Amino acid sequence: MGRYDLALIGFGGVNRALAELISQRGHRLAEDLGFTLRVVAITDLRAGSLVDTDGIDLAPLLAANPGELNFAGLPGGSADPRNAWVIREVPADIVVEATFTDPAHGEPALSHVRWALESGKHVCTTNKGPVALAGRALKQLAAEHGVSFEFEGSVLSGTPVLRTAQRLFGGLEITDVQGILNGTSNYILGRLEEGVDLPAAITEAQDLGYAEADPTADIEGHDVQLKVMILANEVLGADLRREDVLCEGISAITPHEVRDAASKELRWKLVGSATRHQDGSVEARVAPLALPAHHPLAGIYGPVNAVSFRTDLLGTVTVSGPGAGRIETAYALLSDIIAIHQRHAVDAAAPTRPVLLETHHV
C-alpha cells in the first residue's frame, strides 16, 4: 500500500480539520482509498513550524486549544513558521496550502504554491487567489515538473463543481455558468427579505461564523469575483484577469427592495456569471439580480452555494451544496489528494509503449 507524506502550510480551521480526518479516520481511509497519509511538517503563523520526517503525532496537537498551540517547545519544533524552508527542503510528497491570503495579489499562497511546484511536489490548496490570478501559469509549472496542482476547494468548498464540469460533462458544450458563490451574502439577502436591515444582518452572519470581522469581500462581491474567474478560466477556457470581471455587491440593496421583489415572486441573489459567446470571447460579471421563482438559483437559501451550467445537450444542470465549513473544505483537500493519487498511480502503472522505428530503404 502506498503512502503520501504531507506538509501542511497553515494550521487554522481547514488544515486542522484535515489533520483530524487523518488522525481519526486514517485506517478507514486507507482501506477505502488504497493509500495512507502521514503528516511530516506543519507550519503556522502563530504556532511556528514542526517537522518530523518519521511522521508527526497529531493527537496531542489536536487536543490542544488552537490559540495555545506552540511548536517551539516540541522536538523538531520552532517558533518561526519557516514556510519557504519547509516547502522547499522537507521531503514531502504533497504540500497542502491553506494560509490566509490577500485576494488582491494572491500572496503568500501564490509563492507557497510556486515554491512547492518548483521543488517537484504536488500541491492542493483551498486558496482562491493563486488559482484566479495565476492559475494557467501554475498549471504550466506543475506540468513542467511532472506534478499536480489541485484546487477543488477554491470555488465551492467541499462541493465538487470543477471536477463535475471537467470529468462528468465530457461531450457537452458548456456555454454559460451562473452561481451563488458566497454563502454569507446569500444568508444576508435572506434576512433582508425577512425585514432585518443590512448592519444587523451582517452582525448575525458574523455571530454565526459565516462572515469575517471585515465582511467587505463578501458584501461587495470581491470573493465571488475571484470564484467567477476560476470558473470562467477552468470551465469555459477563458483567461480572465480581475479587471475583466465587472463587480457589484449587495450593500446598496434595501430591505424594502428585497421584500417588494419577494411580493412579486422574485428573489434577490448575488450572482456570479460567465458566458462564452459565439466568437469565443467570455464575458463575466458579479451583480445582484432579482431572479424569478423558476430560476434554478432562486430557491437557494442561507449559507448554501450552487452553480448552474448551461449545456448544449442537457440544458441547465445545477450543482448545490455547502460553500463553507472547515470539515467540508477539508474534504475538498482530501478529494484533491485522491485526484493526485488517481492520476499519478495510473501514470505509474501504465505500460511503456514500444518505440516504432521507421526504416528507410535506399
**Which residue's C-alpha cell is 467587505?**
216
Q: Does the residue 282 lie in any domain?
A: yes
Please check whether residue 47 is in contact with residue 30, taking contact to mean a CB–CB distance below 8 angstroms: no
Using CA atoms, how far apart are residues 37 and 5, in angstroms rounded to an integer? 6
What is the total residue count of the chain? 362
The sign of the dihedral angle between the CA atoms of 32, 113, 165, 157 is positive
- SS3 at position 291: strand
Q: Does the residue 357 lie in any domain?
A: no
Q: Does the residue 358 lie in any domain?
A: no
Please state whether the peptide bond connecting residue 103 to the residue before it is cis, i.e. omega within 30 degrees of 0: no
pLDDT of residue 349: 55
Residue 87 shares a structural domain with residue 167? no
- SS3 at position 253: coil
Q: Does the residue 356 lie in any domain?
A: no
Cα 34 to Cα 45, 57, 327, 343, distances in angstroms: 33, 22, 22, 14
- DSSP conformation class of 30: H
Please check whether residue 186 is in contact with residue 305, taking contact to mean a CB–CB distance below 8 angstroms: yes
Task: Please count the CA atoms within 13 angstroms of the CA of 279 that sit on its side-chain side.
Answer: 2
**What CATH code is carried by the domain that includes residue 40?**
3.40.50.720
pLDDT of residue 173: 95
Per-residue cell: 174: 458548456
Residue 125 shares a structural domain with residue 176? no
**Which residue's C-alpha cell is 448545490?**
320
pLDDT digits (tens, 9 = 90+) for 202-219: 999 999 888 888 999 999
pLDDT digits (tens, 9 = 90+) for 22-66: 999 989 999 999 999 999 999 999 999 999 999 999 999 999 998
Catalytic residue among 121, 128, 139, 227: 227
Residue 124 shares a structural domain with residue 231? no
Number of domains in the chain: 2
Residue 281 shares a structural domain with residue 237? yes
**What CATH code is carried by the domain that includes residue 218?**
3.30.360.10
Instruction: Please confirm, yes or no, whether 269 is among the known catalytic residues.
Output: no
Residue 224 shares a structural domain with residue 280? yes
Q: Does the residue 315 lie in any domain?
A: yes
pLDDT of residue 346: 62
Residue 336 shares a structural domain with residue 277? no
Which H, E and C letters describe 50-117, residue by residue? Answer: EECCCCCCHHHHHHCCHHHCCHHHCCCEECCCCHHHHHHHCCCCEEEECCCCCCCCCCCHHHHHHHHH
CA 234 to chain centre: 13
pTM over 0.85, yes/no? yes
Residue 108 shares a structural domain with residue 27? yes
- SS3 at position 233: helix
Q: Does the residue 150 lie in any domain?
A: yes
pLDDT of residue 37: 97
Please check whether residue 193 is in contact with residue 265, taking contact to mean a CB–CB distance below 8 angstroms: no
Give which of 143, 144, 179 is closest to 161, Cα–Cα: 179
Buried b / exposed e over 21-33, threshold 16 CB at 10 Å, is bbeeeeeebeeeb
- Which residue ranges of the chain lie beneath pLDDT 50? 351-362
pLDDT of residue 211: 85
pLDDT of residue 344: 87
* Structural domain boundaries, residue 119: 2-157+326-349
Please check whether residue 154 is in contact with residue 317, taking contact to mean a CB–CB distance below 8 angstroms: no
Residue 193 shares a structural domain with residue 310? yes
Q: Does the residue 333 lie in any domain?
A: yes
Residue 170 shares a structural domain with residue 311? yes
pLDDT of residue 204: 94
Using CA atoms, how far apart are residues 135 and 141, in angstroms rounded to an integer? 10
* Type and span of the H or E element at 306: strand 304-311
Please check whether residue 51 is in contact with residue 76, taking contact to mean a CB–CB distance below 8 angstroms: yes
Give which of 87, 83, 93 is closest to 55, Cα–Cα: 93
Cα 199 to Cα 188, 189, 268, distances in angstroms: 10, 12, 17
